Amino acid sequence: MGDAHYGFTAGDSIVITGAGSGIGRATALQAARQGLSVGVWDLNPAGVDETIQAIIALGGTAHGEVADVSDAAAVHAAMERTARALGPISFLHNNAGPPSTAQLDFGDAVRICVGSVQSVTEAWVPYAPQSGAAMVVTASVAGNLVGTANAWYSASKAGLMGYVRHLAAHRAGEFRSNGVAPGMTNTPRLAGFATSEMGERILERIPLHRMGEADDIAAATLFLLSPAASYINGVFLPVDGGWTVTQ
């Protein structure tokens, strides 16, 4: 995929949670190609290191944090260290979260998934510039039209959409808020899924007849964060090959 130019200012900074693999890593690498300095956050130390090394190989600047986004104190400390390393943080990609296949208690899962996004967002705001700041959440088509086998996943993704709408309506003076809603995406979490019986059934219902790639989601995320989307606020952008229009 070629890199579009969205009008970012070289040297501005972004924090990406869940940047050790998949969509988060793809966003980190595309952000580095746009000239952004990247705060790479993930629970997996090896994933953090691998993403940072890939950014350095592109000639970019990165700072890593092994961060549990469900721990508010750890989040605030990690954000402070990131801002010390990278300066003001113009952009935030709230991407971290458990996979839809995880067997989690409903209440715990919603608290972790939605609460962690609120915690990271509030930790970020003091380090954001007074103008031009933006935040994007990775939600899911499971938050609006496509159900999943796990109730907590659909409920938490819908909760994220509600939180973003609240921010867009009431915090727009500080930053813009939007979300991306990936469909079936080819990441390590779904390795082999496309060739499974269920995967093949789903692919038949996707008008583009393929899974999304992490770079597809990353490109949409960076567009929504960028100055090119400066009048877009409170939107959830499905990146699903048209899957939701077939539901």
244 vs 247: CA distance, rounded Å? 5
Instruction: Count CA atoms closer than 13 A to 32's CA, side-chain side.
Output: 23
Q: Which stretches of the chain are assigned E, i.e. beta strand?
A: 13-16, 37-42, 62-66, 89-94, 134-138, 176-182, 185-186, 212-213, 236-239
18 vs 25: CA distance, rounded Å? 8
The Cβ of residue 69 has, within 10 Å, a number of other Cβ atoms equal to 25
The answer to whether 16 and 31 are in contact (CB under 8 A) is yes
Q: How is residue 85 written in tokens?
A: 């390393």
Active site residue 163: no
Q: Among positive and negative, which fits the CA dihedral 21, 54, 117, 141?
A: negative
44 vs 181: CA distance, rounded Å? 24
| H runs (alpha helix) in 58-196 | 72-86, 106-124, 151-170
Using alpha carbons, select from 130, 126, 148 the residue that is nearest to residue 139: 148
Catalytic residue among 6, 127, 153, 231: 153
41 vs 211: CA distance, rounded Å? 26
| Residues recognised as catalytic | 153
